Amino acid sequence: MLKRREVTASLNGLREEARIISGLGSSTYDLHSTGDNSRNFYLWGAMGGAAMVGLGVAMAQPNSNIIVLTGDGEMLMGMGSLATIGVQQPTNLSIIVLDNGHFGETGMQASHTNSCVDLAKIAKSSGFNFSTTIKTDHGLKNFLTRFGDLPRPLFAAFKVEREKLVRSLPILDGVELKNRFRKTYDFLPN
């Protein structure tokens, strides 16, 4: 089992110019805990939408690397978007799931991935060109070394511990989050 913030921090260390979209709840706090960045778009709601927001950016900016960082519950709610992404075959989109097998924000109820559901297999059969589940430190290190060269669309589920961590809260202001993210591509607000 891995630690979610270690996975997040090590991915963030490799990001360079990549934009990261985080799913609501713990994934947003995890991403913010690595340090705030205008290239992050934190979702505070819109459960199930992180992967599709990521696809929207990825198709708008095909030369820009886009990473979606989300949890198992959020990804399960948007499971159809794996099919939609598979059809579009974006070569710049990676979906990273921090999978603790539980709905962490709402009282740690067991999720589907705690039972029989395998998100990586669903991604694979949806047409992702690389899909894996990583459970160990060795697997993480191996993944990080190869991350830049792996084919996209990429899906990786990291099996992480069920932890209650101190929340690291980004700003809530959606308009500000939108405008500062767009500014990283030199777009001005209307």
Partner 1 sequence: MENKAPRKVTHHDHYWKFTKKISFLSFVPRKCSTRASRYKDILTGAMGGNNKKDTDEMLLGLLKKHNVDFLPFVPDAGHARLIDQAFDDPDLQPIVLTTEEEGVAFACGNWLGGKKSVLLMQSSGVGNTVNMLSLVSNCNFPFVTLITMRGDFGEFNSWQVPMGKATPTVLMAMGIQVLNVRKREDLLNTVDAALYSAFSSDQRIAVLISQNLVGRKEW
Interface contacts to partner 1, rule CB under 8 A: 21, 41, 43-61, 64, 78, 80-81, 83-84, 87-88, 174-175, 177-178, 181-182, 185, 187, 190
Q: How far is the CB of 40 from partner 1 (least distance, A)?
A: 11
Nearer to partner 1, 166 or 188 (CB): 188
Q: How far is the CB of 16 from partner 1 (least distance, A)?
A: 17
Nearer to partner 1, 39 or 124 (CB): 39
Nearer to partner 1, 61 or 168 (CB): 61
Nearer to partner 1, 42 or 143 (CB): 42
Contact 158, 96 (CB under 8 A): yes
CA-CA distance, 23 to 46, in Å (whole number)? 8
CA-CA distance, 98 to 26, in Å (whole number)? 9
Q: How far is the CB of 82 from partner 1 (least distance, A)?
A: 9
CA-CA distance, 180 to 46, in Å (whole number)? 19
Q: How far is the CB of 170 from partner 1 (least distance, A)?
A: 13
Q: Do β-strands 19-22 and 109-110 pair in parallel, antiparallel, or remain unpaired?
A: unpaired
Contact 68, 42 (CB under 8 A): no
Q: Write down how long the chain is.
A: 190
